[in-house]
């Protein structure tokens, strides 16, 4: 009997801030640059992403979404590669460490009117929002997004147990880059990583680059989650798929050294990663350890099921 072997489905990355030298946070994204980034992503096996925009002035975010929508409408490659957006901020914790590379001056409490503006500019394609649920009014905001079919993730947060309880009850489903988006020094037990990790209702999004999460930490976080409650992502920025050097994340210049670590100059804080998702899958399989097909599912069919995205076979 002949066994038909199906080609694998493509990878799907839910957090991509830039790629192949292209910064998606640019004030006015260019069509040729986005097309170049999408082509480079495909060469790494990633045919679908949630293009991620981070904290900025609401007017500036509105203009970026509108501009990228113009590009998507006119370019089939970009439209196919970017079926939606991930909005990371500005509704985050403003404290140093928790806010990471997000500019403090634009961080604020969730505002439904602001989200409506951004979602309209994005053509209704904002599929994922990362926020800190300790802000007053967060539960109502999360419930509204959930009713509209937008997935909510908790991240860049120092939420207490009650805040997390309310967020989950309102419809929050993910933890953005669990183990990161927090200060380097934390209480050994009473910290937001442990609080979020303990919640089986939340799917953990992990960055398997050996930098955001060392291999042993990746393995421990993975083992602490129930089956089906882990996915892997990159948090990639312009240095991913590109050589070491200086790059931008919006108005901020960052450095990617020979060690492939992307840092805010003069600080220990990461500013995204230079990881490509195919490398992340290989790392995850090695560190878990797990069969290659299982690790690949963490970066393809698992997130695709959450967002209702159909992935092509490659």
Q: Distance between CA 142 and CA 232 in Å, rounded? A: 23
Q: What is the pLDDT of residue 1?
A: 44
Q: Cα separations (Å) of 121 from 23, 66, 115, 116, 129?
A: 20, 5, 10, 9, 15
Long-range contacts of 143-147 (CB under 8 A, 24+ apart): 143/170, 143/171, 144/112, 145/115, 145/171, 146/170, 146/171, 146/172, 147/171
Q: What is the pLDDT of residue 271?
A: 85
Residue-level length of the chain: 314
Q: Distance between CA 295 and CA 280 in Å, rounded? A: 9
Residue that has been written with the tokens 């679908």 in this structure: 48
pLDDT in tens, the chain (314 residues): 454 568 899 999 999 999 999 999 999 999 999 999 999 999 999 999 999 999 999 999 999 999 999 999 999 999 999 999 999 999 999 999 999 889 999 999 999 999 999 999 999 999 999 999 999 999 999 999 999 999 999 999 999 999 999 999 999 999 999 999 999 899 999 999 999 999 999 999 999 999 999 999 999 999 999 999 999 999 999 999 999 999 999 988 999 989 999 988 777 778 889 999 999 999 999 999 999 999 999 999 999 999 999 999 99
Tell me the CATH number for domain 11-243+269-307: 3.20.20.140
Assess contact for 259 and 243: CB atoms under 8 A. no
Assess contact for 81 and 312: CB atoms under 8 A. no
Tokens of 176: 């953005």
């Amino acid at each position: 009997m002949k066994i038909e072997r199906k080609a694998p489905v493509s990878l799907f990355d839910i957090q991509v801030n830039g790629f192949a030298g292209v910064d998606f946070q640019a004030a006015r994204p260019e069509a040729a640059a986005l097309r170049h980034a999408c082509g480079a992503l495909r060469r790494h096996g990633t045919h679908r992403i949630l293009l991620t925009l981070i904290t900025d002035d609401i007017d500036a975010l509105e203009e970026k979404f509108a501009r990228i929508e113009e590009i998507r409408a006119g370019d089939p490659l970009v439209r196919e590669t970017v079926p939606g957006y991930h909005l990371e901020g500005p509704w985050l914790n403003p404290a140093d460490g928790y806010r990471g590379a997000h500019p403090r001056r634009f961080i604020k409490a969730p505002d439904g009117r602001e989200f409506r503006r951004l979602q309209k500019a994005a053509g209704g394609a904002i599929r994922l929002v990362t926020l800190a649920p300790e802000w007053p009014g967060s539960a109502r905001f999360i419930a509204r997004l959930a009713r509209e079919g937008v997935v909510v993730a908790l991240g860049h947060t120092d939420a207490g147990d009650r805040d997390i309880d309310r967020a989950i009850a309102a419809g929050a489903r993910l933890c953005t880059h669990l183990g990161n988006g927090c200060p380097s020094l934390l209480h050994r037990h009473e910290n937001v990583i442990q609080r979020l990790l303990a919640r089986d209702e939340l799917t953990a999004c992990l960055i398997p680059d050996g930098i955001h999460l060392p291999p042993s930490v990746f393995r421990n976080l993975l083992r602490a989650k129930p089956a089906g409650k882990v996915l892997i992502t990159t948090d990639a920025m312009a240095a991913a798929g590109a050589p070491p050097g200086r790059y931008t994340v919006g108005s901020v210049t960052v450095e990617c050294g020979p060690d492939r670590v992307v840092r805010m100059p003069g600080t220990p804080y990461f500013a995204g990663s230079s990881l490509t998702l195919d490398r992340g899958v290989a790392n995850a399989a090695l560190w878990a350890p797990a069969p290659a097909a299982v690790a690949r599912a963490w970066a393809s069919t698992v997130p695709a099921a959450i967002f209702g995205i159909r992935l092509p076979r490659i």
